[in-house]
Amino acid sequence: MAKLTVLHDGACPLCAREIALMRRLDTRGAIAFVDAADPAASCPIDRREALARFHAIEDGRVLNGAAAFAAMWRAIPLLSPLGQCARLPGVLPLLDALYDRFLRVRPRLQRWLA
């Protein structure tokens, strides 16, 4: 049974590619992937919020941004060291700042991949 729920934007070509890779790497089935863009999907948080920023739910806590990515990485054995590194002092704020910068260029990247 999945221990982590990842909310993603299945309508975003960039996100869809990344989640497809994460699904392949999640060989233990530790992650439940929920497409927040799918109106039929049960989205446990506000759908607009889920589509604007990457979210995960770990142990009942809603994480977003770099914290959500780090939780996803920790759930995948191959990427777990990256997720563990995010727990080091100062690393998560740095990753979050980088993610915020990425969000500003995401619309352009989406257009290129569409």
Cα–chain-centroid distance for residue 19?
A: 8
Q: How many domains does the chain fold into?
A: 1
| Per-residue model confidence (pLDDT) at position 103 | 87
Q: How big is the chain by its Cα radius of gyration, in Å?
A: 14
| Per-residue model confidence (pLDDT) at position 105 | 87
- Can you give the residue range of the structural domain that contains 51? 4-113
| Per-residue model confidence (pLDDT) at position 114 | 61
| Per-residue model confidence (pLDDT) at position 111 | 75
How confident is the prediction along the chain (114 residues), in pLDDT tens digits per residue? 568 999 999 988 888 999 999 999 999 999 999 999 999 999 899 999 999 999 999 999 999 999 999 999 999 999 999 999 999 999 999 999 999 999 888 878 777 766
Residue (of 24, 4, 11, 2) closest to 70 by Cα position: 4
What single-letter DSSP state applies at residue 1? -
